Structure 1
């Protein structure tokens, strides 16, 4: 037998397993399937230990009557579901919940609309202008939340704010000393502008990246068929962007609903607690009013409401995809 024949026979022969027996057919396949799970196992364990333990402690706290007296005496008073029943029976909780849902809906609609327009603009700009605009978007997105909120407090300040000064120079002299945090709607306006300004870059860059996956041949075919700008968008661009659009909307709903820093730092939920959302409401009840068990119960209910909203949204998305199929 020649050397080439022996080498070919060696390559074609199955590798011996334990005891010289060939390995089981599914062993290599199972090993390949397990590799991704083994890679994410350390991060998953760390996440469960870091966040799961906090969630467990918060859940246990929600079943206790814990205030300053219990802290000083170091006693634990279990009250069962009293905190939950008291919270659910409080009209203020439901007003704050409705306010949070409306606040989230308005912000998400504005963010997605403006972000989509800027994302489509990035796709049509030249390389230089696209780089400059992307750089500005990344700077706005990367700014720390507390720093950005402080800047907006200065911009909308009553006496020395830039916004009031500009409006006064434009002829709206009644706005020279306007207090933007004196009313519910004006305070929410400032918070909404801040949150939209912070969130639009993520949506714009994400959707611009999605446009780069659209084959140019489809646009050329649509142009040959006489399709206009709107027709090309509805028949070519939006079908490709739809998965990214739904995923980004899902993330924005979560981020806006749980927004705390912007709402609290601007006016601490004022005036008269009229701009409190559920995260701020839980913090005020738990920390400011020293009702720690009540605050924990409100935070758990906030998580459950958010899970319900996201589940409803995902159900709508899945149903729409099934209808299209």
Structure 2
């Protein structure tokens, strides 16, 4: 007799009526887990940011479309005048002189900041551990100095009677600099402010660029040197293309920083002598305070915001274009 093996097919389990299987955990919405609590926890910070940032901006926009002077500041009854303040501002020859000076001030500062910061970053990369730590520590300490304190130090350095700069130049034989009034000459005051802004901005840019340089693989530099490329060619063809996004970011931040350099100018020269150091933020404050034309001052501030927003738009377009190429 032959044994016959019977193969039984397992029957599917029957579902009990009235009971449905629970949905898988992966299909649940993320918002159902915490409910409204995450939004309630974030709400105070968001509301505070909106109040501190958007309310002053909206208020300045509103004032720029009103006839808002000292009487309106006290009484609160401001008359709506439309674009009359902007027409007055844009037809003022002094305003366009200030705009040209602002872009000149920005261009000189940004070029010097980026060039010096890149050189400092490259130098720091080639130093040993001890000297690299010393350089980075010095940059951090210079960066941490308050703006008003640094401006006051520069005022004393270039003081006509007690300044170290005049004393040093006179000791070296330049007798014409004895009691030289630096802040009474427009070009000299402009150069001092450029030196101050560059000195304050280089530490941040240098540390950021140095951090970007540490991400460039050393094998690329070695391969370029084997192919016969010099230091300048390696920098132009290998290093800079690798850190281009960080360079663009630092460039945009420095443009914004120098564009709104108000504290240094106001503490040191208040825009003088004459209008030699007056840029758009200083012009807006001068118009609002000295002439009590708060409407024109707000209009000048809005023009400054629009110009800075244009820089941000260019940066974001470049950033999105680089992301699309990856």
Could you tell me the TM-score, scaled by structure 1's length?
Answer: 0.85
2:132 aligned residue: 130
Identify which of 44, 68, 73 aligns with 2:70: 68
C-alpha distance in structure 2 between counterparts of 1:166 and 1:323, whole Å: 55
Superposition map of 1:218-229 within 5 A: 218-229=220-231
Pairing partner for 1:295 from 297, 300, 303? 297
Give the 3-state SS of the residue equivalent to 2:67 in structure 1: coil
Deviation digits for residues 55-113 of structure 1, max 9, x if unmatched?
A: 11111111222222233444322222211111111111111111101110110000000
CA separation in 1, counterparts of 2:110 and 2:99? 16
2:288 is the counterpart of 1:270: no
State the Cα deviation string for residues 268-290 of structure 1 (Å, max 9, x = none).
00111231100000000012221
The residue that corresponds to 1:149 in the other structure is 151
Residue 14 of structure 1 corresponds to which residue in structure 2?
none
Shift of 1:40: 7.3
CA distance in 1, matches of 2:243, 2:209: 7
Paired position in structure 2 for 1:113:
115
Q: Please, which runs of 5 or more residues in structure 1 have no aligned partner?
A: 1-17
Aligned partner of 1:209 in structure 2 is 211
Report deviation, 1:300. Answer: 0.7
Distance 1:81 1:233 in 2: 50
Give the match for residue 166 of structure 1.
168
Task: State the alpha-carbon separation in 1 of the partners of residues 315 and 145 from structure 2.
Answer: 29
Which residue does 2:239 correspond to in 1? 237
Structure 1 231/100 Cα, relative in aligned 2: closer, same or farther at 3 Å?
same
CA distance in 1, matches of 2:150, 2:177: 23
Deviation track 1:145-193 (CA, whole Å, cap 9, x = no partner) reads 0010000000011111111111111121101121111122111100000
| Residue equivalent to 1:8 | none
| Compared CA separation, residues 228 and 299, structure 1 to 2 (3 A) | same
TM-score (norm: length of structure 2) = 0.85
Q: What value does the CA root-mean-square deviation take over the aligned residues?
A: 2.9
For 2:99, the equivalent position in structure 1 comes to: 97
Verify: 1:83 aligned to 2:85, yes or no: yes
Alignment coverage as a number of residue pairs:
306
Q: Which residue of 2 aligns with 1:11?
A: none
Equivalent residue, structure 2, for 1:198 = 200
CA change 1:179–1:226 in 2 (3 A) is same
**Which residues in structure 2 correspond to 1:8-23 (within 5 Å)?**
20-23=22-25
User: Given that residues 288 and 294 in structure 2 are in contact (C-alpha distance below 8 angstroms), is that contact kept between their aligned partners in structure 1?
Assistant: yes
Q: What SS does structure 2 have at the residue aligned with 1:181?
A: helix
Partner Cα distance (2:108, 2:52) in 1: 33
Separation in 2, partners of 1:254, 1:273: 21
Compared CA separation, residues 63 and 103, structure 1 to 2 (3 A) = same
Q: Say which structure is richer in helix.
A: 1
* 1:51 corresponding residue in structure 2: 53
Alignment partner, residue 9 of structure 1: none
Give the Cα separation in 1 of the matches to 2:48 and 2:136.
Answer: 34
The answer on whether the counterparts of 2:288 and 2:295 sit within 8 Å (CA) in structure 1 is yes
Measured at CA, do residues 215 and 309 of structure 1 come closer, stay the same or move farther in structure 2, by a change above 3 Å? Answer: closer
**Structure-2 change in CA distance of 1:44 and 1:210 (3 Å):** farther
Larger radius of gyration: 2
> Alpha-carbon deviation of 1:23?
4.7
Match of 2:180 in 1: 178
Q: Does 1:285 find its partner at 2:287?
A: yes
Q: Which runs of 5+ in 2 are unaligned?
A: 1-19
